[in-house]
A = this chain, B = another copy of it.
Amino acid sequence: MIIVIQCKDRVGLVAAIAGLMAAEQINIVSMREYVDTVEELFFARVQVQEQEHLNGDDLKKKLQAVLPLDAQVKVNPLPEKKLAVLVTKEYHCLSDILVRNHFKTLGASVQCVVGNHAMLGDLCQRFEVPFHLVSHEGKPKEAFEAELLQTLSPYHFDFIALAKFMRILSPQFVSNYLGKIVNIHHSFLPAFIGANPYRQAFDRGVKLIGATAHFVTNDLDEGPIIAQQIIPVSHSFSALDMMRAGKEIETAVLAKALNLVFEDRVFVYKNKTVVFE
């Protein structure tokens, strides 16, 4: 069982949490906490041993009773998240998610995939995951997003992965799922924001290609960063080679970020994250 806590920092928070666990004879497997001393914010992730008679709702109430009023407490069975996935045409991130989902190592179960192109439907079908086509063509953005919302509405999910979904979502759409949308950005943020980043990287002669997984806020490429990685490239890489290298790293970074999120290791505040790896 995972407990995550976020609140204004003050003296005695760790003592309060640990004291309660001790009093309740609950065994702490691991405990991570972090204080942003500038912002005076406290973050904790506590993993406790599953025990008979250990009820999550009870535990949450007891924790809230010993913590300040502003404390956000979540108690989650590990890991039983539900995921929706948005895609366009590229298969590399989606196939990685579907394979892990199929073999129950994703840390979440994929409820549905929605694409604005039809071509990844076949892949979903091979893994018996529902696929819906919501084309953006010939529609205003509002209509497209309304259709997206309607398509997603029958499903229950905790997070949306933008697995190379190449449409920019409006703040209105995003506001429906605040803090729940994880995007993989096709470059090393904050560099080369915008279209055709590999062309930009090639023209600039970079020696590293990167990818960034982040939560989506109002600005598609500018939300809180969850994970980043790079891969070295050289002058002999064409823009196409850079894109190919980029896809490898995109797949790896999105997989890592989703895993961190599904295991309740990521906290968001002030456009950045605390990540207990």
Contacts and interface: CB of A to CB of B under 8 A. Distances in A.
Given A18-B15, A30-B35, A208 B230 contact: yes
Copy tally for this chain in the complex stands at 4
A22 B188 CA distance: 42
A91 interface: yes
Interface stretch (A72-80, A168-176, A268-276): A268-276
A103 B19 CA distance: 44
Interface of A: 11-15, 17-19, 21-22, 25, 27-35, 37, 91, 95-96, 99, 102-103, 123, 126-127, 188-192, 203-208, 210, 224-230, 232, 234-236, 248, 252, 255, 271-275, 277
Contacts of A206: 189, 225, 228
A189 to B, nearest CB: 8
Given A207-B227, A225-B207, A25 B11 contact: yes
Contacts of A188: 188, 191, 208
15 contacts: A11-B25, A12-B18, A12-B19, A14-B14, A28-B35, A29-B35, A30-B34, A95-B99, A96-B99, A190-B191, A190-B192, A207-B226, A208-B228, A208-B230, A235-B272
Which 10 A-B pairs rank lowest in CB-CB distance, beginning with the nearest? A205-B272, A15-B18, A12-B22, A14-B18, A15-B19, A191-B191, A207-B228, A95-B99, A235-B274, A126-B126
A272 B126 contact: no
Main secondary structure of the interface of A (DSSP, over half): mixed
Given A126-B127, A225-B207, A11 B30 contact: no
A208 B209 CA distance: 12
A33 B34 CA distance: 11
Contacts of A28: 11, 14, 35
Contacts of A19: 12, 15, 19
